[in-house]
Structure formats: structure tokens, C-alpha cells
Amino acid sequence: MACIAVGDTIPDGTLSYADEAHQILNVSVHSLAAAKQVILCGVPGAFTPTCSLKHVPGFIEKAEELKSKGISEIIVISVNDPYVMRAWGKSYPENKHVKFLSDSSGTYVKTLGLELDVSDRGFGIRSQRFALLLDDLKVKVANVESDGQFKVSSADDMLKAL
């Protein structure tokens, strides 16, 4: 598939998470984003330096401001298993608004055309770094980074778009 773009309807897909009892639960993207303004943020990997020290903390720090501008959900996805995503989310005790969801096999990022093949580095298929602003399932902003970059997908970039 070509990369998701402004004006597209976000395709439905299934993401997962581990609940408090460590049960794996599935959730559809459409159930999270229908009739709402949502930020869907994709990162190459949980606990990786840029993701953990820059990208995700920005969304946690700016969550209240984003919500005050009409954002209902802030969702971080990565091609990691639900247990890793749960642990990663818990590593930010100040987080009250950002959801950490798993795209374990990379199926959803492939559907978006946003997969990143880093097999040459031993990591397999991951997600490109991106931030999408969705309004009732329509892509209003699609900020996709070039390989290894962090220049257009920050929380501040999303705030500017609002």
C-alpha cells in the first residue's frame, strides 16, 4: 500500500494491550478514533533512545495542552508485544493520557504503508516514526519522518497543526 496521506480515511485494524491482570485484549483503531480527534503516533521501538527520551515524553508532557485543543486520544503504537508496551507505558509514572498499544506483528503499520525494514540491523520489520492527526477517521495531518530522523512528528508539531 502507498503511505497513508492527508485526506485518506484511516483503515481499521486491530491493536492490542495487556491489562492489569496481564490478559491480552484487542481493540480496533476505528473504535478508538471514530467521531473524535485523535493523535496516532508510531515509533520504531519501545525503550529505544529517541522514542523513550524525546518522542514519547513530548506527548506525555503536552497531553493536557493537546486535550485542551480538542484531542480525545493520544495513542502510541510500536511493533512490540503488548507486555513490552505495557511495561514501557508504566515506565512513565507521570503519564495520565497517552495509551501504549501493540502492533505485535507490524500488520497495522504495513496497512498504513508505514513499515520500516531494519532487518539489516537485526530488528526485522518495525514502524516508521510518524504522527497522524485524525478527525473522525480522516487523516488531517500526516507527519512521517525520514529514516532515523525526529524533525516533524513531535507533540509540538501536532500542536502547531491544531
- Give the up-direction half-sphere exposure of residue 48: CA atoms within 13 A in the CB hemisphere: 17
Which residues belong to the active site? Answer: 51
Pairing of strands 37-43, 125-127: unpaired
Q: Which of 112, 105, 141 is nearest to 128 (CA)?
A: 112
Distance, in Å, from the CA atom of 150 to the CA atom of 38, rounded to the nearest integer, reads 20
Indicate if the alpha-carbon torsion angle 75, 81, 82, 85 is positive or negative: negative
Alpha helical stretches, state H, 91-149: 107-112
Query: In the 8-state DSSP scheme, what is residue 53?
Result: I
Q: For the chain, what is the total number of helices (H) and then of strands (E)?
A: 7, 9
**Please, what is the end-to-end C-alpha distance for the chain in angstroms?**
28
